[in-house]
Amino acid sequence: MTETYLIVGLGNPGREYRENRHNIGFMLIDSLAFRLGAKMSRMQSKALVASARHGDAKIILAKPQTFMNLSGQAIQALVRFYKTPLENILVAHDDLDLPFETIRLRPGGGAGGQKGIKSTIQHLSTNDFPRLRLGIGRPPGRMDPAAYVLQDFPKEDQQFLVETLERAVDAALDFVDEGLDVAMNKFNGTA
């Protein structure tokens, strides 16, 4: 039987946010779509979505088109529509508390100040869903974190960003193929 997985990347819609640190979740979904040969062209439940096959699994890729702090609306609607069990959901998001180039899979937990995760926890009425945390590092000096996450990745970080996204794509597909525990063991120690 085909299992359905929902992989959601968090970000803000609109061209002006496209290269922002806050949109690394969207960047991951674009990288996954490219790897799987899927086109992100369909609007559904306030999200841009695509579906792809991977082995025996059907993967729904989604980029909520609400702003970050309302991401849970789209995620809740997609979970209901596809009847996706919580353990088959993976929400990818930027994380200030992880150094840039670091990825971490987690089975659940709090929002840690990430407003898209906070919204998702509220709309799903649980914090028990897998996440893929994508490290963007802390802002320099006394810079406001809200301003930092809305800055584009600097040009000198582009190559590292591409490599990090490739590793994150591998981690997301391992999550589908092998399950969360195996993927965590494989990817949570590597930079």
Nearest C-alpha neighbor of 10 from the set 120, 103, 105:
120
Residue 19 has pLDDT above 70, yes or no: yes
pLDDT at position 113 is: 87
Q: How many percent of the chain have pLDDT more than 90? A: 94
The C-alpha atoms of residue 110 and residue 6 are separated, in whole angstroms, by 20
The C-alpha atoms of residue 24 and residue 45 are separated, in whole angstroms, by 21
Q: Where are the alpha helices (DSSP H) in the chain?
A: 24-36, 71-82, 115-124, 145-149, 158-178, 180-187
- Mean per-residue pLDDT, 84-102: 95
Question: The tokens of 27 are what?
Answer: 């960047």
The C-alpha atoms of residue 39 and residue 47 are separated, in whole angstroms, by 13
Residue type, position 73, single letter = Q
pLDDT at position 190 is: 53
Q: Which CATH number fits domain 3-187: 3.40.50.460, 3.40.430.10, 3.40.50.1470, 3.40.50.300?
A: 3.40.50.1470
Radius of gyration of the chain (CA): 15
Residue found under tokens 């590597």: 190
Which residues are marked as active site?
Answer: 22
Nearest C-alpha neighbor of 27 from the set 171, 156, 134:
134
Contact indicator for 55, 1 with CB cutoff of 8 Å: no
The pLDDT tens digits of the residues spanning 113-172 come to: 899 999 999 999 999 999 999 999 999 999 999 999 999 999 999 999 999 999 999 999
- The pTM (predicted TM-score) of the whole model is 0.95
